[in-house]
A = this chain, B = another copy of it.
Amino acid sequence: MSKMLNVRELFPEGQLRFIAGPCAVESEEQIDAAASFLSSRGVKILRGGAYKPRTSPESFQGLAEKGLKILRKAADQYNMLVVTEVMDEENLELVGEYTDIFQIGSRNCQNFSLLRAVGKLDRPVLIKRGFGNTVEEFYQASRYISKEGNDQIIMVERGIRTFEDSTRFTLDISAVPVLKEKVKYPVLVDPSHPAGKREYVPSLTYAAVGAGADGIMIEVHPEPERAMSDARQQVDFKTFEKIYGQAMKIREAMS
């Protein structure tokens, strides 16, 4: 389906690119609306979870293969790439039939078996920092992938566990310059998970751009308040548009 992508072409040095889409794939309508809107605004990579790692086994766990199909269809229609989470080696082949970029979620940042497995594939891997991991551990996790031969890696800071409780996680903005000293890969920031509330997403996005992030991975939903997961932190189209425009202006001011 997809030729080998180069992550540095997706996220060129000195520029700013967005990965956007809903937290979870919920329906064909939802993803079509998101992809239609986002692609029209210049977003080239569509995110959306078909397998959702949820704290409780009773929470919505995702649409599985049905979700993958929905993502693929929308991405093809709107000429986008898909990034979606793979939670285990068993599903690697199945997810690989639909996605362009494999996502390793925060809870699997030190799932070394899974890291080795995606390291053997010729497909980019987006890895999110474990919320209990140091930057050094995050870096070493990326080395489990590259050691197997795959150095098409995208690293995403998404907040860590601290005592502060006015946000869901504490965005470790310093991780951006620290990572950039260690790796040549694109370093992105996910402002949605640390914010926990959509009110804070714009500020965290702009902070990430200021810190030098190569990209932003953001949760956007056609109707955030109806979302089946992370409803409080997803932004609507209008808000995304404002964030996108402002972020690009800041990026330009930095050149």
CA distance A165 to B133 in the complex (A): 11
Asked if A114 is an interface residue, CB under 8 A from chain B, the answer is yes
Q: Is the CB of B132 within 8 A of A131?
A: yes
Which A residues contact B (CB, under 8 angstroms)?
53-57, 87-91, 107-108, 110-114, 130-137, 140, 143-144, 147, 160-167, 170-178, 181, 194-195, 199-200, 203-212, 246, 249-250, 252-254
What chain B residues lie within 8 Å of A200 (beta carbons)? Answer: 174, 177-178
Which residue, A131, A161, A246, A252, has most C-beta atoms of chain B within 10 A? A161
User: Once the chains are docked, how many angstroms separate the CA of A211 from the CA of B208?
Assistant: 8
Q: Which 10 A-B pairs have the closest CB atoms?
A: A132-B132, A210-B210, A88-B113, A206-B210, A253-B253, A161-B163, A107-B110, A177-B203, A207-B211, A207-B210
Whether the pair B133, A132 counts as a contact (CB closer than 8 A) is yes
Which residues of chain B are within 8 angstroms of A112 by Cβ–Cβ distance?
A: 53-54, 57, 87, 107
Q: Report chain B residues within 8 Å CB of A199.
A: 177, 181
- Complex contact B210–A250 (CB within 8 A): yes
Q: Which of B135, B140, B171, B254 contacts A57 (CB 8 A)?
A: B140
Cβ of A165 to closest chain B Cβ, rounded Å: 6
Find out whether the CB atom of A246 lies under 8 angstroms from the CB atom of B254.
Answer: yes
- Pairwise interchain contact B134-A163, C-beta atoms closer than 8 A: yes
The smallest beta-carbon distance between A1 and chain B, in angstroms, is 24
CA–CA, A163 to B170, complex, Å? 10
Residue of B nearest to A114 (CB): B88
Q: Which residues of B contact A249 (CB under 8 A)?
A: 253-254
22 A-B pairs with C-beta separation under 8 A: A54-B112, A87-B111, A88-B114, A132-B133, A132-B161, A134-B165, A135-B166, A162-B170, A163-B163, A173-B204, A176-B203, A177-B199, A204-B211, A207-B210, A207-B211, A209-B210, A210-B211, A210-B250, A246-B254, A249-B253, A250-B253, A250-B254
